[in-house]
Structure 1
Amino acid sequence: MFFEIPDRLRPGRPYPLGATFDGQGVNFAVFSANAEKVELCIFDAAGRHEVARLPLPDCTDEVWNGYLPEAGPGLLYGFRAYGPYDPQRGHRFNPYKLLLDPYARLLSGPLRWSDALFGYRLGSPRADLSFDRRDSAPAVPRSVVVEDVFNWGDDRRPIVPWSKTVIYEVHVRGISILRDDLRADVRGTFAALANPRFIDHLHRLGVTTIELMPVNAYMQDRFLLEKGLRNYWGYSPLSFFAPEPAYLSQGGLNDMRLAVRRLHAAGIEVILDVVYNHTSSGNELGPTICFRGLDNASYFRLVPGNERYYINETGCGNTLNISHPRVLQMVMDSLRYWAESFHIDGFRFDLGATLGREGTGFDPGSGFFDAILQDPLLSRLKLISEPWDIGPGGYQLGNHPPRFAEWNDKFRDGVRRFWRGDAGLRADFAARLSGSADLFSRRHRKPWASINYVASHDGFTLQDVVSYSQKHNEANGENNNDGHSENYSANWGTEGPTDDAAILAQRERVRRAMLATVMLAQGTPMLLAGDEFGRTQRGNNNAYCQDNDISWVDWTLAQTPAGSSLVNYVARLGIMRHYFSALQSDRFHYGAELEPGVRDIAWFDERAEELGPDAWQNPDARALAVQRAGVDDKGRTGIVLLFINAWHEPITFSFPAPQRRWYLLTDSAEEDSRAREMRQDTVDVQGYSVMVFANRVPKELRLADMGE
């Protein structure tokens, strides 16, 4: 300590919450409606010894507060809260348990598991109705006072229009931990995201926006550690403000800011995957680390009439009580903190349906949505919801309010099934290809509201979608009982890796066809990191606990002939999407005539005959042609034509009238297709493939492929 700790704290201010350094000392403010006393615990510089325990002297509007003069950044602290221990009434105060500050901007390190973390006596026949008097401080990380100082210079948000957005889902650790071209202390951290080679790779793919899986400090669950596993995904939040300590290298918090600044300079947005639906403390048998010990009855949704138990709409043991004004304030403060202090460009809300729940169930006009949509900063950022949870009425795809985009699992499943060759899917596939208007064309929403993907962190990678018919989660230690059993995947003849050339060729065709569907459909495309060069999880579709080479991105795959070819293919698709306004998502297409003989969208069969009601319902039809047109900012009409064959044999397609000069831009059946002019009236489209034509060739492809 570089200052003398007084015998008591001065009266402080109830706002802002958390620990705030003002240049002369630190103000502490923490919410608890039901506590009888809250103490500030101060630790030495090493964090080993508690050197002072000072009651917060004032409580204003249920916010306990106090001021510590001469304290400053780097101070290590925690709280202890006194009040009734009465689980059956929802109260679980235990002053023997050191508590994290809910607003802590930095944690001193990871949680260390100990039986002392639990507010009750483990093994007691009274379970959580018992009371534990062991001090939990040796096991709990310290909250750290910080000062937000960073030179942002002329940093500006790229503000990429939704219609031009291409998302790349990234795990901070997994994307770089195997990169041997980076220093060891940089791999797996925010600093690696600023690496020029990574940024160049994103540019090559046409990515405009990276979506980072949870970066908040999260818990390593005890049951996983006991099995030799680790929480890899991070959907078990310890803090809503502090970054995960393992993702910080020597620069501390500014590592993340520097990465964002450099990505912004390259024109790339950064979105955070955030978890506000639950905390890491589990159900009534979980540990007391923060919220449970500060004010269990306020922070969590409890079963009415039996407040010992938690409402569990998340599958994680508890549900955060967003309906409480102070809890909602905390969520909003957290979002604004990331947006203001780290210049984050948007958020993807895990289990977003939970956040929209009121007493009567999911409500698109809930307090959570209203609070965000009226906020002058947050309402202008990119907002994405995972539109489901496991509670009653928890599937809410398409029902979120305007300004929100949603993960579209109907796109994922429908596209997988169509390219697997399932019957009766032509109409559904067309709906997904045209922006899922059946789900999103209401309340003046736009096609970009549909986040289109065939693979994400949750489930198979794209390579595994075409390599495995069944999940293979044995490494998770749950006898392969975890994870979804229906993945709408196919192995095309052999389960897993194979040397069979015919099977490998088939898998490549289907994989390229799926990528073309994602990148060229109306809506917002999202790629899973590594899918562009064949990353596999060896059939594991629930790799949340695999912090190892099952989950990590193996960049050497990008150097193989197959991986390099696929990267080039995705890059071509990215060029097409950014070049043709017809492929972008500013409005839904319903067949409006743009000029004589040219409509914004038109559907044909392989004979170039427009599809009628009976044809749409033909369960055996696997062929489809879609022509889309749009006018660019120079007044030029760009026309894109897709010939799609999900049958196992080649199908001959005819070009629709009127006759015009067509250029083939890519053929997913070819490993290395090049742009060329088509001079015939028909073309054979190979099985399980898509051919893309246009009335002109983007400059990048024309120079590379045609030598012009």
Structure 2
Amino acid sequence: MDSTAQSPFWGARPTDSGTDFALATAPAAERVEVCLVDHETWEQRCFDLARTGTTAGEQAVRWEGTVPGCAPGQHYGYRVHGPWDPGRGLRFNPSKLLLDPHSLAVSGRTEWGQQMHAYVFGDPATMDTSDSLGHSTLSVVVDHAEYDWEGDAHPRTPYNETVIYEAHLKGLTQLHPEVPEACRGTYAGAAHPAVVRHLAELGVTAVELMPVHQFVHDSTLLEKGLVNYWGYNTVCFFAPHAAYSSSGDHGQQIYEFKELVKAYHRAGIEVILDVVYNHTAEGNHLGPQLSYRGIDNAAYYHLVPGNEFYYMDYTGTGNSLNVGHPLTLQLVLDSLRYWVTEMHVDGFRFDLAATLAREEGTVDMVSPFFGLVAADPVLSRTKLIAEPWDVGPGGYQVGNFPPQWTEWNGRFRDTVRDFWRGQPGTLRELAMRVAGSADLYEDEGRKPSASINFVTAHDGFTLADLVSYDGKHNEANGEGNRDGADDNRSWNCGAEGPTADPGILELRARQQRNLLLTLMLSQGVPMLSHGDELGRTQSGNNNAYCQDNATTWIDWEHVDSSLLDFTRRLLRLRADHPVFRRRHFFDGCPVDPAEGDPLPDIAWIDADGSSMGDADWDEDWAKSLAFFLNGNAVPSHGRAPGDSDFLVILNAAENDVDYHIPDGPFPQKWSTVLTTCAEHLVGETTAANEVFTVPARSAVVLEAAREE
């Protein structure tokens, strides 16, 4: 094996004569072998890499070399030799074949057992010497040169025009009748014209894919006959998950993923990846030895200070990735750039993003990670979405992320759910969320688009279940219904679960429309959870992370067609009217304008037609809210000046509410353009000073008649 000069690449790089390999390890590593494996016979040929220098600010060692004749498609792994001293964070064990942290593709499956663990079962301080070869997944040498992007370009939809559709790649198509059976549940299935067409016609501008980085299934779940369906158990941050490929796992998964991206871009839909850089699948001190732990344990993970046998757990998974270390930081940044430049994705949603800001355990929102992303010419142009919390001390960071970032707004979710289930005293909070959550983002110079608004997501009830269950029903998860959140802020509308009562069914349908309307017509970026527009149910399971079956797959044969039609009309209304997707926060005040003064950009209207006063906001009995949106206050940005004026009325009360249409400087004539209750109201007109009756637990949208 010939040594090569130091080069900036990491991982495996094919050349005309063979393949170059480069790996960074802890300084204490004594020897590194790259092992080429025949994936059918499991025979291996191992070659020593040369120690050529340091990296990561001299906190790691670079090993590299060239294997002549090694071609794309070759399976390989690393064996790293060094001291076994877990108490000092050193867990080298050359009997364990390790995945390359920079693997572009991964092949095979992990067979759990003693061989996959570096310690002896029952004695975690003692090194196990059984070989993991034949039981572990393998890295694959990949060459990207042959793929033709055919002029593919990023859609780059502005945030204020974005509608996100969160989807599980398998669940999206596993039961889709138009997708060929061999492609269901795969990248090719998600790229099928019928699926892309559904999202485009719905009005979606971005699909946010739950984890597609290579992940593994926990042994504890497999023992129960379950799997890690959601995929928040990453093992390689560069490799597309092989099981989602319909064409093979020897590198074909990369081609198939690129075809998916190209298909969505042709439809004007961005592709956002849900990424899990906060932990890995290696778990705590009793977890398996798959990659990082055996390469540079102390660099990749937060270890307990003074007792480095154990791991700090800010994620609830057993370990936490130490992005504060230069080696780990570079890995994450390289991974992000790779997915943008080579795979053409448009953005990222960062799971438990507060962990990325932890410096020596403390959350630091000016950490190097955020600074480097902001300065990066590639990453700074992508959509960056944070789940703005983790489970460690000081981990709740809603409203605190840097200006380029947007955040999942959990307060929006909780408030909208509370309002529509009839909780008293929610009006003030609801108004703040509907208006874009300026209290969370405006002081930092951010915009309404910093708020990713959602009512449901993969974690929790589906929309249909939110209005059908008071409590969770997770018995199928095998944990005695103890897992999953207990605070769901849900309401079953009068019966728990399935019912034949027509009154309850009608109310549930109306409540789903109410929640969707509030989501889509609030300022900020709306996110729809996959299948909610179709009436998808998980039968009350609010933690279906381990259910790879009909519980979680979208049932395309039995869709709620009326709900789908309503959702399409709702998204079209939002798309047609910039007043619902402003670029800047409102600056109007909830007071009557003086005679001759222009109307404010927003006004909050009481049932008697007057503007709401301070005392009105905190009345426990008040369960309805109306707001006027001034279309003329919307900057044109090159379009015809202004937009229509709108009056939106949300009534969560159990009784009808009579609203006096406001007079004075407000528009004099209105037409009902959307309602969640009676369709016959659409198209009806009303005028200033008239009484407009809003039915119980319903919402209406009135558009001002334009003067000729």
Mark yes or no: TM-score above 0.5.
Answer: yes
* Deviations 1:492-537, CA, capped at 9 Å, x for gaps: 1110010001111111111110000100000100000100011001
Contact 2:674/2:700 (CA < 8 Å) preserved in 1?
yes
Residue 249 of structure 1, aligned match among 238, 246, 260: 246
Contact 1:11/1:58 (CA < 8 Å) preserved in 2?
no
User: In the aligned structure 2, how far is the partner of 1:141 from the partner of 1:281?
Assistant: 14
Residue 668 of structure 1, aligned match among 643, 666, 676: 676
Aligned residue type for 2:499: T
User: In the aligned structure 2, how far is the partner of 1:468 from the partner of 1:14?
Assistant: 58
1:273 aligns to 2:289 (yes or no)? no
Residue 55 of structure 1, aligned match among 39, 42, 48: 48
The corresponding residue for 2:58 is none
The corresponding residue for 2:63 is 64
For the residue of structure 2 that corresponds to 1:130, the secondary structure is: strand
Displacement of 1:654? 1.4
1:29 aligns to 2:22 (yes or no)? yes
Alignment CA distance shift 1:679-1:600 (3 Å): closer
Aligned residue type for 1:461: T
User: In the aligned structure 1, how far is the partner of 2:576 from the partner of 2:364?
Assistant: 38
Displacement of 1:360? 6.2
* Deviations 1:23-66, CA, capped at 9 Å, x for gaps: 3321101110231111111112x343233111102332111111
Alignment of 1:555-704 (within 5 A): 555-558=556-559, 563-591=560-588, 596-630=597-631, 631=634, 632=636, 633-657=639-663, 658-670=666-678, 674-678=682-686, 681-695=690-704
Aligned residue type for 1:655: I
Structure 2 gap ranges (5+): 55-60
For the residue of structure 2 that corresponds to 1:143, the secondary structure is: strand
Residue 139 of structure 1, aligned match among 135, 138, 141: 135
Alignment CA distance shift 1:672-1:119 (3 Å): farther
Alignment CA distance shift 1:596-1:198 (3 Å): farther
Displacement of 1:570? 0.6
Contact 1:101/1:143 (CA < 8 Å) preserved in 2?
yes
User: In the aligned structure 1, how far is the partner of 2:443 from the partner of 2:83?
Assistant: 49
For the residue of structure 1 that corresponds to 2:224, the secondary structure is: coil
For the residue of structure 1 that corresponds to 2:237, the secondary structure is: coil
* Deviations 1:629-668, CA, capped at 9 Å, x for gaps: 2334201332121011110010011112234221111111
Structure 1 gap ranges (5+): 1-7, 698-708
User: In the aligned structure 2, how far is the partner of 1:490 from the partner of 1:140?
Assistant: 46
User: In the aligned structure 1, how far is the partner of 2:264 from the partner of 2:405?
Assistant: 23
Alignment of 1:492-507 (within 5 A): 492-507=493-508
User: In the aligned structure 2, how far is the partner of 1:505 from the partner of 1:278?
Assistant: 44
Alignment of 1:459-538 (within 5 A): 459-538=460-539
Aligned residue type for 1:648: E
Aligned residue type for 2:554: V
For the residue of structure 1 that corresponds to 2:444, the secondary structure is: coil
The corresponding residue for 1:75 is 74
Over the matched positions of the two proteins, sequence identity in percent amounts to 45
Aligned residue type for 1:30: L
Displacement of 1:138? 1.0
Q: When the two structures are superposed, what TM-score results if normalisation uses the length of structure 2?
A: 0.94
The corresponding residue for 1:95 is 94
Aligned residue type for 1:64: W
Mean Cα deviation higher: 564-573 or 663-672? 663-672
Displacement of 1:21? 1.2
Contact 2:301/2:322 (CA < 8 Å) preserved in 1?
yes
Residue 160 of structure 1, aligned match among 146, 157, 160: 157
User: In the aligned structure 1, how far is the partner of 2:407 from the partner of 2:667?
Assistant: 39
Contact 2:349/2:384 (CA < 8 Å) preserved in 1?
yes
* Deviations 1:130-189, CA, capped at 9 Å, x for gaps: 110100011111110001131112111110000100000010000000112221221001
Mean Cα deviation higher: 59-68 or 214-223? 59-68
User: In the aligned structure 2, how far is the partner of 1:324 from the partner of 1:569?
Assistant: 49
Displacement of 1:12? 4.9
User: In the aligned structure 1, how far is the partner of 2:430 from the partner of 2:682?
Assistant: 26
The corresponding residue for 1:109 is 108
User: In the aligned structure 2, how far is the partner of 1:350 from the partner of 1:636?
Assistant: 38
Contact 1:12/1:58 (CA < 8 Å) preserved in 2?
no
Q: When the two structures are superposed, what TM-score results if normalisation uses the length of structure 1?
A: 0.94
Mean Cα deviation higher: 19-28 or 396-405? 19-28
* Deviations 1:522-559, CA, capped at 9 Å, x for gaps: 0100000100011001101100000011111111232x
Aligned residue type for 1:142: L
Aligned residue type for 1:548: N
Contact 1:14/1:64 (CA < 8 Å) preserved in 2?
no
Contact 1:14/1:63 (CA < 8 Å) preserved in 2?
no
The corresponding residue for 1:704 is none
For the residue of structure 2 that corresponds to 1:174, the secondary structure is: helix
The corresponding residue for 1:3 is none
Displacement of 1:688? 1.2
User: In the aligned structure 1, how far is the partner of 2:583 from the partner of 2:11?
Assistant: 42
User: In the aligned structure 1, how far is the partner of 2:685 from the partner of 2:15?
Assistant: 68
For the residue of structure 1 that corresponds to 2:612, the secondary structure is: coil
Aligned residue type for 1:112: E
Contact 1:199/1:266 (CA < 8 Å) preserved in 2?
yes
User: In the aligned structure 1, how far is the partner of 2:693 from the partner of 2:684?
Assistant: 15
Contact 1:9/1:54 (CA < 8 Å) preserved in 2?
no
User: In the aligned structure 2, how far is the partner of 1:87 from the partner of 1:48?
Assistant: 33
Alignment CA distance shift 1:159-1:318 (3 Å): same
The corresponding residue for 1:705 is none
Contact 1:41/1:50 (CA < 8 Å) preserved in 2?
no
User: In the aligned structure 1, how far is the partner of 2:569 from the partner of 2:705?
Assistant: 14
Aligned residue type for 1:152: W
User: In the aligned structure 2, how far is the partner of 1:47 from the partner of 1:394?
Assistant: 46
For the residue of structure 2 that corresponds to 1:238, the secondary structure is: strand
* Deviations 1:540-590, CA, capped at 9 Å, x for gaps: 1100000011111111232xxxx1110111111111111111101301012
* Deviations 1:311-346, CA, capped at 9 Å, x for gaps: 000000001110111110000000011101110000
User: In the aligned structure 2, how far is the partner of 1:674 from the partner of 1:111?
Assistant: 57
* Deviations 1:279-317, CA, capped at 9 Å, x for gaps: 001000001010011111111110110000000000000
Q: CA RMSD in A?
A: 1.6
Residue 214 of structure 2, aligned match among 190, 213, 217: 217
